[in-house]
Amino acid sequence: MTVAEGTALGRLAGLVECGGVVVLSGAGLSTESGIPDYRGPTGRSRNAQPMTYQRFVGSEQARRRYWARSHVGWRQIGAALPNAGHRAVAALERRGLLTGIVTQNVDGLHQAAGARQVIELHGGLDRVVCLSCRERTPRAELDLRLRAANPGWAADAGQINPDGDAVLTDEQVEGFRLVGCRSCDGVLKPDVVFFGENVPRPRVERCFELVGSARALLVLGSSLAIRSGLRFVDRAAALGLPIVIVNQGATGGDHHATLTVDAPLGATLTALTATTTPLRAQ
């Protein structure tokens, strides 16, 4: 660790160990679990054509393409394990230093690491929702149904996107069979917020309430390139809260930051937990 990194870590620890911290996490926190992020250190988008809500609901072929690709990608997302960064965040929560975690990720790794106070801003890939009756079912159940509906179908992907969308050719997608809701045969959608779809307002308000009652905001692994996450940084700045951003590469919120740390998340957060003490017994 360089002198500059050591100084930044000391300042970070000084802010966190007083407690009252809200975490805002992004895809960069999960890269060490084998899940790629959206932009990387350069800030350039890795996925030029993400599925939009409008395309998904408007075209059966678009849904076939999505579910075929997601069926393959789910193998990697579903098998991913929490990394040192997720475990460190859960440890900080157990020490009473965090009042909540707002994650833009849909992989469920915060919870798998033991964190409890998690708001999934964009939903979770481990659930499926029917667009007709709104019934929610486990993704593992859908995975079994899709396997049964597509015996002998197999496709290897050369790339997996952060939302679990595998890159497949049109030939690989052709012939993939969809299944409907078990209860009403309606259209099934992952319980996540697609591009072009709004985050449910009550969920957004809960996040704003968390930020409004926080003593500091800690951003982890987010480029803050879209409004969905940046609005909470803007709110924290308007309230005069200290804002710390730990990310590899520049972010859209750096101009608001009290401190920025450009370093790998796992090692940095592990070092942070080694220098902080519990605020109260859990």
**Catalytic residue numbers?**
122
Query: CA of 207: how far to CAs of 13, 118, 150, 232, 247, in Å?
Result: 23, 10, 40, 8, 21
Measure the CA–CA gap between 225 and 251, rounded to whole angstroms: 7
Beta strands in the chain (DSSP E): 21-25, 98-103, 118-120, 123-130, 136-138, 188-192, 216-220, 243-246, 259-261
Write the secondary structure of 127-175 as one string of H (helix), E (strand) and C (coil).
EEEECCCCCEEEHHHHHHHHHHHCCCCCCCCCCECCCCCECCCHHHHCC
**Residue 176 DSSP class:** P
Contact 234, 204 (CB under 8 A): no
The answer to whether the beta carbons of residues 18 and 215 sit under 8 Å apart is: yes
C-alpha to C-alpha distance for 35 and 265, rounded to whole angstroms: 14
Q: Taking every pair of C-alpha atoms in the chain, what is the biggest distance, in angstroms? A: 61
Give the residue from 167, 192, 43 showing the smallest Cα distance to 107: 192
CB contact at 8 A, 9 and 272:
yes
146 alpha carbon, distance to own chain's centre: 25
